[in-house]
Structure 1
């Protein structure tokens, strides 16, 4: 898979960015940790994010070990991206923020076992299951 670039924004447009995905959309996944279960976003591994607008206004949220850094637009509340806990600092972006990409474009998504996080589990990254979307009709 080759690297792709995508323009992205939060819902209200206050935060705008371009993201480089080293493996395109192939890294799409969900997680079953307490935070990701509630957030429900499809995350894509990013090689780099360049902000064009709104970076300085992003709100940071951290919990648990306070290693991962989750960023949100303070106006519309949309999660735009995060720096992962494992591998530490790796970037991930919310697929729903990317122009022309929908979370429903992914018919099967691996779900990482975030309840048994690799940082707490000798670096073992496990899959908890697979989330499937089947369009009606």
Structure 2
């Protein structure tokens, strides 16, 4: 399992996440379409905020089941938190915030969140 490093734009929020990226999701819901994130889902225990947890702000909308975290300084959304259908704690990592990957090499699944 690989450990990936990531951060917001200004660097106040940094994190590590363990796992092997085999794909990402692009969602067209009102939130994801605007922020342009590519999401990779991992168990929450695989995500560690290494600096700046106090710099994170949180936004929820619709059913308020996903906590969309963003840096209060630069506004970048590095990850969100929620639960999968079985109730397990999950993290949705914005792979655009990872420093060590080739985005063009990651297969992207398009999810119609707008219709949900």
If the length of structure 2 is used for normalisation, what is the TM-score? Answer: 0.85
Paired residue for 1:52, among 44, 50, 53?
50
Residue in structure 2 matched with residue 90 of structure 1 by the alignment: 90
Instruction: Work out the number of aligned pairs and report it.
Output: 112
> Do the aligned partners of residues 33 and 72 (structure 1) sit closer, same or farther apart at CA in structure 2, a change above 3 Å counting?
same
Quote the offset at 1:60 in angstroms.
0.0
Moved over 6 A (4+): none
8 Å CA contact 1:95–1:102 kept in 2: the answer is no
* Alpha-carbon shift at residue 101 of structure 1 (Å): 2.1
Q: Which runs of 5+ in 2 are unaligned?
A: none
What residue number does 2:32 align with? 36
Please list every run of 5 or more consecutive structure 1 residues that lacks an aligned counterpart in the other structure: 118-137
Give the aligned partner of residue 109 of structure 1.
Answer: 108
1:93, distance to aligned residue in structure 2 (A)? 0.6
Instruction: After superposition, give the CA deviation of every residue in 1:15-65 in whole Å (9 maximum; x if it has no partner).
Output: 1111112xx111311111111111111111123211111012201010011
CA contact (8 A) 2:42 2:91 kept: yes
Pairwise CA RMSD of aligned residues? 1.8
TM-score normalised to structure 1 length: 0.73
